[in-house]
Amino acid sequence: IYDLFAIRVVLKSEGRKGKEDCWRVYSVVSDLYRPMPERFRDFISVPKSNGYQSLHTTVVDPDGRKVEVQIRTQEMHEIAERGVAAHWKYKEDTGGGGDEEMDQFLDWVRDLLDNPEADEATEFVREFRLNLYDEEIYVFTPQGDLLTLPSGATPVDFAFKVHTEVGMQCIGAKVGGKMVPLSQELKSGDQVEIITSKKQSPSEDWMNFVVTHKARSRVRHWINRERREATEGGRERWEKAAADAGLEISDQDLQGAAHELKFPDLQQMFYEIGSGLFDPEELVEHIRSEGPQGGGDGPADGEEDEEALRLRYEKFLDTAQETAQPALKVDGELQTDLATKYANCCNPIPGDEVFGFISKTGTINVHRTGCRNATHLLSTQPDRIVPVEWSRQKDVQFVAALRVMGKDRKGLVRDLTKVISNTLDTDIRSITVDTDDGIFECTLMIYVTGLDHLRRVIERLRRVDAVHGVYRFEE
């Protein structure tokens, strides 16, 4: 602990003279007491992205106690204590004009506000808080220019900091002249060189390690755009295949056919058609040979399947939310005495990006960040939003559920459980299997440590022979 004893020196001088006086005071302090070089921080020459400026050092007094010393001007103190708005007030009071540091801060804010996805308001606030308060690192371009990034930033974050196009076309990186993985965390003092290619495009894997808002926003926007284009292309391919076959079918009946083929919804089916994962001719043949489920006086088989699936989902939801309750972190702290409730409008489950909304009774309602109510709650009552996340402690596990679909064959259940238990060292809570006319469907409830763990399970299960699709079990 270095700041148990702390002294702050605030100087009345301003502008360039104020900065020079800060260094003079530091010289006096370091002459009188033995400084700890590894604890020195110069936030005057290189301010934080949020405008914070100060000299920090830790010295040892004659009794051997460590004392932290902060040295700043009155203007720097106003910004540190009262926020950025205090800067304009201070300038008005002293008759000063704008300065380079504030221009840099405004550029930073504009960059954060340049968010292409309208439904990501809560994600923006979460990342704004992270970018505002995280520890920062200082890295260099090959030309020697200094760039500021949050702690944990990677070469991809660096690339997007240089320019959006550099980030979008990033194919590799060198740190200190040596090739490094794009996921490697950068350290202060690193010199980073980005290798680009016009044929390169962002990867979904980047979302697992990029930390800056700009990088996450651009990559997420690209992924969503690619998915939309694939879905739209899939619909067009289907319509052409249906027209060529002289087939007419309503969206409602097409939805029934999608369910019979074990797709969770029409959008997923069109996405897989557009991505080349599913041939529309197979859909044409299925509709011709089987016809969509429906009709009759009683509930159709498809309706019975949907009801059974709904009940299975509700059971999973109760189990997952109950087991994850002790791992909820509110405002960065594990909470055991706060009343929390999962919002019925979006039914969050462990691993989802979530936020909290304080109700009038004091209960914290937990919503998904993609909830349809997220933007409204944020824009109308931002003071009642609190950051909520799932604990990432290694010993904390969540219950997750997967739907596995494919062609029925002998030994398929054995192969699935072998991959999960042996290859991935993952515990299984329960497994439900249903087969019909050669089609295999399985609901797996497993224990995972987070989304990365769950993604590894999904990717590995998709490679099992006869498996056609693996999806998160969602309503």
Helix (H) or strand (E) holding 122: helix 121-133
Give 112 or 161, the one with higher predicted confidence: 161
339 to 179, 195, 350, 360, 434: CA distances (angstroms): 49, 50, 17, 12, 38
Structure tokens at 139: 């890295």
Most confident of 142-146, 170-174, 314-318, 431-435: 170-174
Q: Residue 164 and residue 159: Cα distance in Å, rounded?
A: 7
Level-2 CATH architecture, domain 5-94: 2-Layer Sandwich (3.30)
- Share above pLDDT 90 across residues of the chain, in percent, rounded to a whole number: 11
**Residues 122, 124, 125, 126, Cα dihedral to 10°:** 90
Determine if the pTM surpasses 0.85.
no
The answer to whether the beta carbons of residues 398 and 447 sit under 8 Å apart is yes
Structure tokens at 75: 């203007």
Average pLDDT over residues 425-450: 82
Say which residues have a Cβ less than 8 Å from residue 393's Cβ, sequence separation at least 6.
327
Say which residues have a Cβ less than 8 Å from residue 472's Cβ, sequence separation at least 6.
400, 401, 402, 403, 454, 458
Shortest CA distance to 326 belongs to which of 402, 397, 427, 430?
Answer: 397
Per residue in 97-146, pLDDT (tens digit) is 445 555 555 565 556 555 545 445 555 555 555 555 457 788 899 888 88
Confidence of residue 300 (pLDDT cuts 50, 70, 90): very low
**pLDDT of res. 194:** 92
**pLDDT of res. 166:** 93
Fold of the domain spanning 135-210: Ubiquitin-like (UB roll) (3.10.20)
Level-2 CATH architecture, domain 397-472: 2-Layer Sandwich (3.30)
Tell me the three state secondary structure of residue 201.
coil
Per residue in 313-363, pLDDT (tens digit) is 566 556 555 555 555 666 656 555 566 777 766 667 666 778 888 876 667
The answer to whether the beta carbons of residues 196 and 169 sit under 8 Å apart is yes
Q: Residue 409 and residue 466: Cα distance in Å, rounded?
A: 7
**pLDDT of res. 50:** 67
Average pLDDT over residues 409-413: 88
Q: Is 456 exposed, middle or buried (0-12, 13-18, 19+ CB in 10 A)?
A: middle
Is it the case that residue 51 has pLDDT exceeding 80? no
Average pLDDT over residues 59-63: 86
Say which residues have a Cβ less than 8 Å from residue 121's Cβ, sequence separation at least 6.
374, 375, 378, 379
- Report how far apart the first and last C-alpha atoms of the chain are (Å, whole number): 48
Lowest-confidence pick of 103-112, 377-386, 405-414, 418-427: 103-112
